[in-house]
Amino acid sequence: MKQQAFETLHQEAWDAFETLLRRLETPAGEAPSSLADMPAQYRLVCHHLALARERGYSAGLVDRLNGLALRGHQRLYGIRQGALRGALRFFVAFPRLARKRWRAMALAALVFYGPATALTFGAKSNPEVAYLVEDPVSLASMESMYQSDTKKFGRSGESDTDVAMFGFYIWNNVRINFQVFASGLIAGLGSLVFLFWNGVHGGAVAGYLTHQGLGRNFWSFVATHSALELTSLVIAGGAGLLLGWSLLFPGRRSRRQALILAAKEGLILVMGSALMDVGAAGFEAFWSSSALIPVRVKFIAAAILWTLVLAYFLFVGRGRVDADA
C-alpha cells in the first residue's frame, strides 16, 4: 500500500487518538470511565507504526506515529516520573545516546586528543614548541602554579578558597563546552576548531611543564578530574558535530527537521557533559589541587575514576535499544 493511501485510510483514527491524548494531558484530564477504548487505540497506533517502518514510509509519518505511541504508553500505564525516576532514565539514556552517535564522538576525540598528544611529546622534548602556542608570561605563570612549595596546585593565588574555585571551575568548563557545542552550527567547523585549540593548548602546557621538571605535580593535579572534564569536552564537541552534520547531510528529512532532531539529542549530550563538569569541578577544587594528598593516592584514584567513566559509557544502558539503534 502506498503511503498516501495508508494515511487516508487511518488518518481519522490517529486524529481521534491524538485528541484523546490532548485531553488526558490537560490538568483536568479525561475521566477514567471514558478510556475503555484507549488500549485498542494504542495497539492500533503501534501496529501502524510498525507497518510504516517496515514499508519505508517517510520520516515525518514515522515520527508522528512514534510520538503518538510514546504519549499513549505514558498515559496508558500512568507513567508520571518523579525526580528520581527521571534522573535514572537520564543516567541510562546519556551513555546510550553517546554510543549511538559514536562516529561524531570518535572524530571529536581524535581532533582533541591527537594534537594534545603530539604537543605534549613535542614540548617535552623541545620546550620551544610550547612558545609557538603560549606566550612566555603565560608559561611562567603556569610554572609558578605547580611549584613544589605551594600548598595548592593549579592556582594563581593562595588566597583562592576551595569553594570559590569550585564555582569558577564549573562556570569555566560549562562555558567552554557550550561554546564547543553551539559553534557546531557553523557546519561543524566551529566545534572542530575549539576541540583542536583546546588540545593544542593543553598539550603544549603539559609538555612544557614536564620538561621543566614539574611533571609530577602537574600530572597528579590533572589525572583525576580529567576523566570527567576531558570526556565531557569530547562529548560536547561530538554534539556540536551532530548539529553541523544535520545541516550538511539531512538525509530524508528536511534540514529543519534534521536540525531539530540533532538539537534534541545535542541537548541531552550537553546536559550530561555539564553534570560531568560539576563532578570534575568538585575533584579539581577539593582533591586535585591539594598538595597534602600523596601523589600515589591521586594516581590510584585517577585510575579508578577513568575505569568507571569508560565502563559507564561502554556498558550502561546496553540492551535491545542499543541493538535497534
Q: Kindly tell me the burial class for residue 18, based on how many C-beta atoms sit within 10 Å of its own C-beta (0-12, 13-18, 19 or more).
A: middle
Residue 324: the pLDDT is 44
Same domain, 170 and 271: yes
Same domain, 71 and 99: no
Rounded CA gap, 48 and 126, in Å?
65
What confidence tens digit (pLDDT) does each residue in 290-313 have?
888 999 999 999 999 999 999 999
What confidence tens digit (pLDDT) does each residue in 79-109 have?
444 557 778 889 999 999 999 999 999 999 9
More confident call, 78 vs 132? 132
Indicate the residue among 55, 80, 105 that finishes a domain.
80
Quote the number of domains for the chain. 2
For residue 122, pLDDT over 90 is answered with yes
Indicate the residue among 80, 99, 131 that finishes a domain.
80
Query: Which grid cell sits at 164?
Result: 570559590
Same domain, 161 and 15: no
Same domain, 76 and 95: no
- CA dihedral sign, ordered 193, 194, 200, 203: negative
Which of 190, 166, 178 lies closest to 274, judged by CA? 178
Paired with 152 in beta bridges are 290
Residue 322: the pLDDT is 53
Same domain, 39 and 124: no
Rounded CA gap, 19 and 176, in Å?
43
Same domain, 111 and 59: no
Same domain, 73 and 188: no
Q: What percent of the chain has a predicted confidence (pLDDT) above 70?
A: 90
User: Mapping DSSP to helix (H, G, I), strand (E, B) and coil, where does residue 152 land?
Assistant: strand
User: What does pTM read for this prediction?
Assistant: 0.73
Same domain, 159 and 300: yes
Indicate the residue among 25, 46, 80 that finishes a domain.
80
Burial state string for 41-66 with b = 16 or more CB within 10 A and e = fewer than 16: bbebbbebbeebeeeebebebbebbb
For the residues 158-164, what does the mean pLDDT come to?
Answer: 73
Same domain, 124 and 191: yes
Give the amino acid at 293. I
For residue 168, the enclosing domain spans 88-324
Same domain, 206 and 143: yes
Average pLDDT, the chain: 88
205 C-beta neighbours (distance < 10 Å), count: 23
